[in-house]
Amino acid sequence: MLGSGLCLAGAIFAPLSYFIIDSVPLTAVGISAIIIGFTCIALANTRPYISAEACEVMLKTGMENTAALLEELGLRNKAVYLPSTMRDGHPQALIPLVDKGDIQRISQKIPGRLIVRYGVNIDDMAIAVTTPGSINIDMLETKPGPTSTEIETAATYILTGLLDLANSVTVNLSDSQVNAEVSGPRLHYEDIWYYRCLGSPIASILAAISCEALGKPVRIQEEDYSKGKSRIILEVLS
C-alpha cells in the first residue's frame, strides 16, 4: 500500500514538477519517491507464505511435545549442542539422562537416534532432539568459521535478517566461552521446563551456530534479560 502510494505520487509529481512547476529539485523528490516506492513493493512481496500466527502455532506445538517428553522423563539437565559432524548431517541437542557433569568427553560421532549413548559407561545415555537452531543452520549460505566475527555475522544474518527475532547481535569469544548480547529480542527467556533444558529459541540458535562454527559441543550456561537486551553465555566443551 505504502509502496504503491509512493510510486503513484512520484509518477504524478515528477513530470508535474519538471514540465509545469519547472523545478529540478522537486522532480528529484518525485524520482526518489518512485525508487523508495518500488523498494517497499519489493519488500512487501518477500513476506513469508505462512502467516506469523501459523509459525507460532507450529513452534509452540513442537516445543510442547519436546517439553512433554522432558517432563515425562524428568530430565532437568542442560542440553549440549553438537555440531553436524558429530550427528547425521545437522546439529542437534543432547540431553543427558543422568547429570554427571562430565559430558565433556563426547568425542565420537553420535548415532542418529532419539536415545543415544555418548560415552563408555552404562549411564552415559542421552536423548537427542532437534531444536530451532538445528534447522536454522541449513539456512546459512556458508558454514561460519571459528572466529567471533564470523559467528556474529552468521547470528546477525539468521536472527536479524532471516527471522527478524532481534535488532542486533554482538558476539565475543574467549577460550571456553561465547558471550553474546542480543539487542531487542522478540522472544524472551521464560522459566519453563523446556527453556531450562534447551534454552530459549534465540539462545538455541546461537548455540547451534557456535557449535557448528567451532566444531565443538556447546552448552548454554547462562541466559538473562535486562534493559531490552538478552545476555547469553555459552560454554564450549572440548
Which grid cell is 148? 567471533
Binders of another protein among residues 177 to 196 (CB under 8 A) are none
CB 83 within 8 A of CB 221: no
Is residue 230 at the binding interface for another protein, with CB under 8 A as the rule? no
d(CA 199, CA 177): 16
CB 212 within 8 A of CB 168: no
Q: How far is the CB of 138 from another protein (least distance, A)?
A: 12
Position among 56, 88, 164, 222 found at the interface with another protein (CB under 8 A): 164
Helical residues (DSSP H) of the chain, grouped into ranges: 2-15, 24-44, 52-73, 132-136, 148-156, 193-198, 201-214
Q: Name the CA dihedral angle for 72, 75, 81, 87, rounded to a multiple of 10 degrees.
A: -60
Q: How far is the CB of 58 from another protein (least distance, A)?
A: 18
Q: Which is nearer to another protein, 38 or 193 (CB)?
A: 38
Q: How far is the CB of 225 from another protein (least distance, A)?
A: 19
Q: How far is the CB of 96 from another protein (least distance, A)?
A: 35
Determine the 3-state secondary structure of 158 from DSSP: helix
Q: How far is the CB of 48 from another protein (least distance, A)?
A: 9
Q: How far is the CB of 19 from another protein (least distance, A)?
A: 12
Mark residues 14-53: x for contact with another protein by CB under 8 A, - for none. ----x-----xx-xxx-xx--xx-xxx-xx-xx-------
Contacts of 31 (CB under 8 A, 6+ apart): 10, 14
Give the count of alpha carbons within 13 A of 178, CB side only. 33
Size of the site for another protein (CB under 8 A): 25
Q: How far is CA 31 from the centre of its chain?
A: 38
Position among 104, 130, 148, 160 found at the interface with another protein (CB under 8 A): 160
Q: Which residues bind another protein (CB under 8 A)?
A: 18, 24-25, 27-29, 31-32, 35-36, 38-40, 42-43, 45-46, 153, 156-157, 160-162, 164, 167
